[in-house]
A and B are shown apart, each in its own frame.
Chain A
Amino acid sequence: AQSVTQPDIHITVSEGASLELRCNYSYGATPYLFWYVQSPGQGLQLLLKYFSGDTLVQGIKGFEAEFKRSQSSFNLRKPSVHWSDAAEYFCAVGVRGGYQKVTFGIGTKLQVIP
């Protein structure tokens, strides 16, 4: 079964600083990979996804993520964080060749300080 590890439960960055949120997955083949963002009390907004092709994917709000098969990672990055980016970020993995569940990581809560 697939699993996702987000090693950082809570990250604090200064506004304007760069950001990298880590995600490692466990799955026997190349998975589908997703990053979602959730503001307090809100639903899940898809930031970006990887299905195939270019391993560097661009998403909304200036985010990007890179799929590294050798490291089983899909880290999320942003060059300059804005105060409005403060939220919780979830990495998720899906299975190819079917319609099975998506498995989420535990999430990383991002705090942005002025």
Chain B
Amino acid sequence: EPEVTQTPSHQVTQMGQEVILRCVPISNHLYFYWYRQILGQKVEFLVSFYNNEISEKSEIFDDQFSVERPDGSNFTLKIRSTKLEDSAMYFCASTQVGTSYNEQFFGPGTRLTVL
């Protein structure tokens, strides 16, 4: 069964450093998402992306964040200058376009630790 994959599974970085989290959505999906879960808290929406542009973003998704689909398979989330409070699990999701149901398929997550 096709699945969303994410790399790395765990990333440790120093405060102020840039990180790029990578996702490979399901191959025939065209709508992509990033969510974040701070330890012990609920999963929160960050951004959605379609047709090479941001479709929707939350107030969390400030100028420190950016997303990109650099090629036909990858979808990335970049944090330009990480802060301690960016430590969280980051989930990528994707969904088909053109169906009646918006079922988002989630990846296994990348745990980001900012020291």
Please give the residue numbers on chain A whose beta carbons come within 8 Å of chain B beta carbons, in ascending order.
32, 36, 41-44, 46, 49, 51, 90, 92, 94-96, 98-107
Contact = CB atoms under 8 A, between A and B. Distances in A.
Chain B's interface: helix, strand, loop or mixed, by majority? strand
B111 interface: yes
Contacts of A42: 108-109
Interface of B: 31, 33, 35, 41-45, 48, 50, 55-56, 58, 91, 93, 95, 97, 100-104, 106-109, 111
Nearest to B58: A101
A104 B100 CA distance: 21
B91 A43 contact: yes
Given A90-B42, A103-B45, A32 B106 contact: no
Given A42-B108, A43-B107, A95-B102, A100 B56 contact: yes
Nearest to B31: A99
Given A101-B45, A105-B42, A44 B95 contact: no
A100 to B, nearest CB: 6
B106 A101 contact: no
Nearest to B106: A44
Contacts of B106: 36, 43-44, 46
B54 to A, nearest CB: 12
B91 A102 contact: no
A36 B103 CA distance: 12
B1 to A, nearest CB: 12
Given A32-B102, A42-B108, A94-B104, A101 B43 contact: no
A43 B108 contact: yes
Contacts of A46: 106
A101 B55 CA distance: 10
Contacts of A95: 102
B48 to A, nearest CB: 6
